[in-house]
Structure 1
Amino acid sequence: MTNWTIDQGHSSIGFSVKHMMVSKVKGSFDAYTANVEADDLADLTTASIGFKLDVASINTRSEDRDNHLKSPDFFDVESFPAILFESTSITKQGDSYAVTGNLTIKDVTKEVTFETEYNGKGTNPWGQEVYGFEAEAKINREAFGLTWNAALETGGVLVGKDIKIHVELELNKAA
């Protein structure tokens, strides 16, 4: 197996959630690490994938909202500083892949499947092979203990239940 590293400058892990039932809040985790091992990234079924997200790095472009998300109302970063993902199976589905694994948020682990697109392979200006992938999954935040909410006077709630997770990766061989 070959170890692969994430090019942090060309990768991102983000999310979106409904806000006030009328718009979306988008955010990202700016600090994360990954373990990706594979015989050949052109065939992702040979891979083993693991991620560790630093919850304190959450960034929604609002300091007050980010601080609330880090609080015990949501992620409780003091008690649960990381979000973890470990793949358990990867299957090819036409031109894409289903990357299934265990997602752990606040000591709650649930199986999640990321629909993953292989964007191709290239060679960077330094002669390294580079592989690109995009992945998406949808989770119910309440299933992971993220249950805080507020009712709106006009009906509905402040924060939606469904979180869309979006991952964009550029990978190259570890040095």
Structure 2
Amino acid sequence: MRRIASLTTLFALAVVAVPVVVAQAPSAPGAPDKSRVTAGTYAADPAHTMVVWRVDHLGFSNYTGIFGDVTGTLVLDPANPAAAKVDVTIPVSKVTTASAGLTAHLLRAGKDGGKPDFFGPAPADARFVSTAVVLDDDGTEAKVTGNLTLNGVTRPVTLDVEFHGAGMGMTKKETVGFEAETTIKRSDFGVLYGIPFVSDEVKLDIHAAFEKQ
């Protein structure tokens, strides 16, 4: 009986303590609150902005890689969000995959001086420049159309963008964050190797943080 009473007491204390611990736990600086966004020019945070790409490999698995160290600018005005402008640069030469062999292949020169299978040893940076922004009714999602230049080819691309959060970042700068996704065809950009065994379609998931300047 004494053991049961002790366990009951511990349980009761835990029930009382949980709300206190939760109340004292620090909250994240960013929150999905549009009122936190202020007008101005923001710079991409290269340490926390990335483009995650995914292709189907032989119908067995989705293979994923990352372009990081993204730089660029975002111009925002909460009073006129449809006028937002984004211009970002993605260093293709810094592509990362889980396989050292595949990463090397992506950046390998063409055989006997021929065209590389993928990007080659000195690929130019990719760049996305927006041309139009169309918001949904509540202003938390938008379709952002722009021109994507990749592998020396420029094509129009539309991103499905969702507002993720805003607030004061760890660097004491106002920060805004977004998630975006789209699908492109690598053949449109002259990357033909392995099609159709490795899918022509490439799904892009973009995670972006911008700091106010």
Q: 4+ residue stretches of structure 1 with deviation over 6 A?
A: none
Q: Is the 8 A contact 2:124 2:152 kept in 1?
A: no
In the TM superposition, 1:11-160 aligns within 5 A as 11-40=49-78, 44-71=81-108, 72-78=116-122, 80-94=123-137, 95-124=140-169, 127-149=172-194, 157-160=196-199
Which structure 1 segments of 5+ residues have no match?
A: 151-156
Counterpart residue identity of residue 111, structure 1:
P
Rounded Cα–Cα distance in structure 2 between residues aligned with 1:139 and 1:75:
16
**What is the TM-score when the length of structure 1 is the normalising length?**
0.85
Counterpart residue identity of residue 75, structure 2:
E
Which structure 2 segments of 5+ residues have no match?
A: 1-38, 109-115
Rounded Cα–Cα distance in structure 2 between residues aligned with 1:64 and 1:166:
23
Is 1:10 aligned to 2:53, yes or no? no
Counterpart residue identity of residue 50, structure 1:
D
Identity across matched positions, percent: 30
1:27 Cα deviation from its structure 2 partner: 0.7
> Structure 1's 31 and 125: CA in aligned 2 closer, same or farther, altered over 3 A?
closer
Bigger strand share: 1
Give the 3-state SS of the residue equivalent to 2:161 in structure 1: strand
1:49 Cα deviation from its structure 2 partner: 0.7
Rounded Cα–Cα distance in structure 1 between residues aligned with 2:70 and 2:86:
13
Bigger helix share: 2
Rounded Cα–Cα distance in structure 1 between residues aligned with 2:80 and 2:205:
21
Counterpart residue identity of residue 120, structure 2:
D
**What is the TM-score when the length of structure 2 is the normalising length?**
0.71
Give the 3-state SS of the residue equivalent to 1:159 in structure 2: coil
Structure number, greater radius of gyration: 2
Rounded Cα–Cα distance in structure 2 between residues aligned with 1:121 and 1:49:
17
Is 1:161 aligned to 2:200, yes or no? yes
> Structure 1's 88 and 162: CA in aligned 2 closer, same or farther, altered over 3 A?
same
